[in-house]
Amino acid sequence: MKIVVATADWSTIDTPLLVVGLWEGETLPPIVSDLIEADDWSGRVRQQQLLYPRAALAARRVLLIGLGRREQATTDRLRELAAVVVQRVVDLKLTHYAMLLPQHAELPAAEIAQALVEGSTLGAYRFDRYKSDIKADDRVMLETLTLLAEDDAATTGAQLGAVVARGAVLARDLGNRPANDLNPEGLAVAARDIATRFGMRVTVLGKAELLDQGFGGILAVGGGSANEPRFIVLEHGTAAAATPTICLVGKGITFDTGGISIKPADSMDLMKMDMGGAAAVLGTMHAVGELNLPLHVVALVAAAENMPSSTAYRPGDIVTTLGGKTIEVINTDAEGRIVLADALWYAQRYQPAAVIDLATLTGAVMVALGPHAIGVMGNDDALAARITRAGERAGERAWQLPLWEPYKEMVKSDIADVKNSAGRAGAAITAGAFLANFAGTAPWAHLDIASTAWTDAKPKAYTPKGATGVGVRLLVELLRTWQTNS
């Protein structure tokens, strides 16, 4: 969908649909008040009224959307309302529409424009790649959204919103693809495509290279599958004194049966999305490339398929990781942390200013935080605080969990350096405590996105069923403001 920002008088805009957002309890603009009885409108959040102005306006339809109380306004509320609007546009089978940019004294026009563009793009998202019965008349292809603003300040925000949304859409597309169409090599193909488009450097290690270099964690987890594992390095920019290096690490388990510790059949189909961390990292790199951020950003994706077979790793096995530390395998379904052990160790060679990993790691984080927040833990409170602030601004909330020494004691093994499961108690945190053994001394944060990477409940209008692309908006916000928001 093409995004256009215009400063023309909205009453003269010739458009199939003009969207006007109105604050609750405030006087209707004169042009609108002539089209509707005052008692028919309150402006409460999500209230809608479709009007046909005939000759009163150039627009052929006017859609009023309630913005709620002005003092309760947030960019995320506007993002969600934009998604509500775009879904109404699709229902009306329109390809073009215009939206009047709401005015708010405490929300800059650029931030409002960014939220509206993100909400519109993400709210219009559909994943119908594999549907063969969609008729041409049923497929509405949105072509243009025109944002009507008072000046050009909204243009930058609109452009940023479009870039961020494209990154999130890429992450959603990757997450929704089934494992027979997206295996570890498929993630490598996606990384190569990004590298080609934006002039990044990419390295993909196959099984032979992983064996030669000692990636014992990835090889163990991927050893039961005919689809061999991959380790992917995608690099934007170059390290320099004034150019910090940020490593983004993604768990890329393209399907997770649980291995020998096999999962129950119910909902196992969702395990095609166990590469949500990798999808978020690749979607972020797409946005980083489009924005050409003045940072050295290194994406590391540990990709494997966790399958049971005669060559699969087993409970009780001892795995030697890339850094030489050993893992006692208690449960082969705690596989994500094992592949991340190699990737986090690899990240240390860049001497990064920060390492951030994203992983659909534990069901326990759903119990702790529900579907509304990402679990964050790590070795640096300042980095965790930066992440939570970026999440608030981006509309992807994160909450820091403690990573105290007693949790680290829980993952110690009697016969190896660590064990990959410490039981149910504090399971989201002990998973982070396990990863801490491989993160080194650089500032590091672990983001457990298992409760937010997919959904079947549509918690927000811009979040469809299936893969959500969570993490992209947060990471882009964090990276683009890295030098200015400490």
Rounded to an integer, what distance in angstroms lies between the CA atom of residue 26 and that of residue 46? 15
272 is catalytic: no
Which residues are CB-contacts of 233 (< 8 A; sequence separation ≥ 6)?
Answer: 201, 202, 203, 204, 205, 298, 299, 300
Tokens of 291: 């924005």
Asked if 117 contacts 40 with a C-beta cutoff of 8 angstroms, the reply is: no
Residue among 70, 192, 207, 263 flagged as catalytic: 263
The answer to whether residues 273 and 453 touch, using CB atoms and an 8 Å cutoff, is yes
Contacts of 321 (CB under 8 A, 6+ apart): 215, 216, 217, 327, 338, 341, 342, 345, 438
If you average pLDDT over residues 372-397, what whole number do you get? 98
- State how beta strands 18-23 and 2-6 pair: unpaired
Helix (H, G, I), strand (E, B) or coil at 349: helix
pLDDT exceeds cutoff 80 at 221: yes
Locate the DSSP E strands across 307-439.
Answer: 318-320, 326-328, 354-359, 374-378, 398-400, 418-419
CA pair distance 329, 326, nearest whole angstrom = 10
112 close to 154: Cβ distance less than 8 angstroms: yes
> Identity (one letter) of the amino acid at 123?
G
pLDDT level of residue 31 (50, 70, 90 thresholds): confident
pLDDT at 132: 86
Closest CA to 391 of 297, 287, 471, 288: 471
The DSSP secondary-structure symbol of 270 reads G
Give the residue carrying structure tokens 């009885």.
37
Q: Which amino acid is at 219?
A: L
In degrees to the nearest 10, what's the CA dihedral of 179, 185, 190, 195? 170
Selection from 480, 479, 483, 474 nearest residue 118 by Cα: 474
Mean pLDDT of all residues in the chain? 96
CA atoms of 37 and 275, how far apart (whole Å): 52
- How are strands ordered across the β-sheet holding 144-148? 2-6, 144-148, 96-100, 18-23, 62-68, 48-51
- Of 143, 147, 161, whose CA–CA distance to 4 is shortest? 147
Question: Quick one: pLDDT band at residue 341, thresholds 50, 70, 90?
Answer: very high
pLDDT in tens, 243-289: 999 999 999 999 999 999 999 999 999 999 999 999 999 999 999 99
pLDDT tens for 101-131 read 999 999 999 999 999 999 999 999 999 999 9
Encoded amino acid at 192, one letter: R
Share above pLDDT 90 across residues of the chain, in percent, rounded to a whole number: 91
Query: Which residues have CB under 8 Å from 351's CB, separation 6+?
Result: 239, 245, 442
pLDDT digits (tens, 9 = 90+) for 276-290: 999 999 999 999 999
- Residue 337 bears catalytic tag: yes
**Which pLDDT score is estimated for 486?**
66
Higher pLDDT, 229 or 459: 229
Phi/psi for 104 (5° steps) reads -150, 130
3-state SS assignment for residue 277: helix
pLDDT digits (tens, 9 = 90+) for 418-458: 999 999 999 999 999 999 999 999 999 999 999 999 998 87
Q: Are 420 and 330 in contact (CB under 8 A)?
A: yes
413 vs 424: CA distance, rounded Å: 16
Q: pLDDT tens digit string along 143-158? A: 999 999 988 889 999 9
Give the active site residue among 79, 337, 473, 480: 337
Q: What are phi and psi of 33, to 5 degrees?
A: -65, -25
CB 36 within 8 A of CB 79: no
Q: Which helix (H) or strand (E) holds 176?
A: helix 153-176
Whether residue 60 has pLDDT greater than 70:
yes
- Which amino acid appears at position 45 of this protein? V
- 10: how many CB neighbours lie within 10 A of its CB? 24
Q: Please report the pLDDT score of residue 124 as a whole number.
A: 95
Tens digits of per-residue pLDDT, 400-411?
999 999 999 999
SS3 content of the chain, % helix, strand, coil (to 5): 40, 20, 40
Tally the C-alpha atoms within 13 A of residue 128's C-alpha that lie toward its C-beta. Answer: 13
pLDDT of residue 10: 85
Specify the pLDDT at position 8.
Answer: 85
Across residues 79-106, what is the average pLDDT?
Answer: 97
